[in-house]
Amino acid sequence: MNGTKLKPIELSNYTISDEDAPFIVAELSGNHNNSIDVALRLVEEASKAGADAFKLQTYTADTITLNCDTEDFQIRGGLWDGQSLYELYQQAHMPWDWHKPLMDHARSLGIDCFSSRFDATAVDFLEE
């Protein structure tokens, strides 16, 4: 930039600024393979690797896409080839009853945990 320093941001127990080390966030996404044990282990691995925080995603297939089988909703190529977006999100979403155990586990390891929410129902759920 032009030499202008960014205003520091206070986040949990961290200060994010030009002078501080990077704030590293690990992303879980659909990497849990539908296993909470895998998800918990990924939190541990993120902590061991030096992540400052762990991010989940809060949505359901019904709130992120339509249950539609038309061409526009079909996946072409990759692991999900031939499946619909709805089918992908049904399989890859983070079960909502996993959020608390994962957040508690992250806190026990000394890292923050937060979630990207995709709709109003997810906001309501996370506020609880």
pTM: 0.80
Each residue's pLDDT, cut to its tens digit, for the chain (128 residues) gives: 567 777 888 877 778 888 888 889 999 877 788 899 999 999 999 999 999 999 999 999 999 999 998 999 999 999 889 999 999 999 888 899 999 999 999 999 999 999 998 899 999 999 98
The neighbour count for residue 60, using CB atoms within 10 Å, is: 18
The neighbour count for residue 128, using CB atoms within 10 Å, is: 6
Q: Where are the alpha helices (DSSP H) in 16-119?
A: 36-48, 61-64, 85-92, 99-108
Cβ contacts of 10 within 8 Å, gap of 6 or more: 16
CA distance 68 to 61: 11
